[in-house]
C-alpha cells in the first residue's frame, strides 16, 4: 500500500494567556512506498509524532490530503476510516499503551475484539501466540499489563500492531524502552514486515535504526528533508 501526503500541515492552538497558534508540521509532501522501511528522525518537538499521527489517520490535518493508494482517508466518514484503520494500519504509539482490564493475549488481539466475531478472535490466538514467541513474551500470555516491565509492554504493543499483518505499520519510538538485544529484535521484525510488502514508517531517535532503513527523512521545526 502506497501512502502519499500532499501539502499536509498541522496547526495547534495553545491555550494560555490569550490564544496563539503554532504550526507543528508545515505544509509538506511525503510518499511512503510499500515494501520499504522509512525512518523519520529529528529533535524532540520537531513535529515527527504529529506527522506520523496524521499519516496514520489519527489526527486530522489542518490542511492537505493523506492518500492510501489514491484514496483520501480524511474524506472517509469515521466509521469507514475506523474499519480501514483496523484492517490496514498497525500503529505502535509512543509510551505505554495497554488496556489494563485485559491480559497480554487480550491486548494483542484487541483489533479483533473491536472489529471481529468471536470465531475470528479465537482464530487469531495462534498467530498472537506465535508473535509473542517471536518477541520473547510467550510466557506472559495471561499476565496483566501492570505485571509487565516497560520493555515487555512495548513488545506487547508492537505485537498488537502487527497481528493483522497490516499493509502499513507506523511506529513511534518503538525501541525507546528496549535494551540493545530487544532493539535489534524489534527492528529486525519490522524490517521483515517491510520485506514482506508492508510500508513501514518509524519515528525514532535510535541511530542504530539507520542500518535497517530504506529511506531516511530528517525533520526540523515542522519541516521535512530527505537525507537518503
153 binding another protein? (CB under 8 A): no
Provide the minimum distance between the beta carbon of 99 and another protein in the complex, in angstroms, as a whole number.
5
C-alpha cell read off for 154:
512495548
Residues 104-133 that bind another protein (CB under 8 A): 106, 110-118, 121
Based on the shown chain and the rule CB under 8 A, indicate whether residue 134 belongs to the binding site for another protein: no
102 vs 92, 98, 99, 107, 117, CA distance in Å? 18, 8, 6, 6, 17
Q: Which of 30, 59, 189, 224 binds another protein (CB under 8 A)?
A: 59
Binding residues for another protein, rule CB under 8 A, total 39
Q: Tell me: does residue 9 bind another protein (CB under 8 A).
A: no
- Quick one: which segment of 82-90, 147-155, 180-188, 207-215 binds another protein (CB under 8 A)? 82-90
Helix axes 150-162, 118-134, angle to 10 degrees: 130
Shortest Å distance, C-beta 140 to another protein: 17
Q: Give the integer Cα–Cα distance in Å for 217 and 198.
A: 18
Closest by alpha carbon to 168, among 130, 215, 202, 120?
202
88 to 107: interface string for another protein, x by CB under 8 A: ---x-xxx-xxxxxx---x-
Chain Cα centroid distance, residue 158: 8
How do strand 215-220 and strand 168-172 relate by DSSP bridges?
unpaired
Instruction: Decide if 16 contacts 74 (C-beta within 8 A).
Output: no
Decide: helix, strand or coil at residue 42: strand
> Using CB under 8 A, which of 36, 38, 53, 183 touches another protein?
53
CB-based contact 205:174 (threshold 8 Å): no
Closer residue to another protein in complex, CB, 67/102: 102
Residue 48 in the binding site for another protein (CB under 8 A) = no
Residue ranges binding another protein (CB under 8 A): 49-50, 53-54, 56, 58-60, 78-79, 81-83, 85-87, 91, 93-95, 97-102, 106, 110-118, 121, 160, 172
Amino acid at each position: 500500500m502506497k501512502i502519499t501526503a500532499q501539502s499536509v500541515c498541522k496547526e495547534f492552538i495553545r491555550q494560555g494567556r490569550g490564544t496563539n497558534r503554532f504550526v507543528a508540521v508545515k505544509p509538506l509532501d511525503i510518499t511512503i512506498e510499500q515494501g520499504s522501511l522509512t525512518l523519520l528522525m529529528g529533535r524532540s518537538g520537531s513535529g515527527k509524532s504529529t506527522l506520523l499521527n496524521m499519516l496514520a489517520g489519527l489526527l486530522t490535518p489542518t490542511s492537505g490530503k493523506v492518500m492510501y493508494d489514491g484514496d483520501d482517508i480524511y474524506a472517509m466518514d469515521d466509521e469507514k476510516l475506523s474499519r480501514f484503520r483496523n484492517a490496514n494500519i498497525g500503529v505502535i504509539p509512543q509510551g505505554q499503551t495497554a488496556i489494563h482490564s485485559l491480559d497480554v493475549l487480550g491486548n494483542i488481539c484487541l483489533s479483533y475484539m473491536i472489529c471481529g466475531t468471536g470465531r475470528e478472535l479465537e482464530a487469531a490466538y495462534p498467530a498472537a501466540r506465535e508473535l509473542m514467541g517471536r518477541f520473547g513474551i510467550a510466557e506472559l500470555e495471561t499476565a496483566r499489563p501492570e505485571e509487565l516491565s516497560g520493555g515487555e509492554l512495548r513488545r506487547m504493543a508492537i505485537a498488537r500492531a502487527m497481528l493483522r499483518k497490516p499493509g502499513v505499520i507506523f511506529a513511534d519510538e518503538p525501541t525507546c524502552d528496549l535494551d540493545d538485544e530487544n532493539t535489534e529484535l524489534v527492528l529486525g521484525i519490522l524490517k521483515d514486515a517491510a520485506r514482506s510488502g508492508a510500508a513501514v514508517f518509524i519515528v525514532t531517535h535510535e541511530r542504530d535504526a539507520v542500518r535497517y532503513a530504506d529511506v531516511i527523512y530528517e525533520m526540523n521545526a515542522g519541516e521535512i528533508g530527505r537525507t537518503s
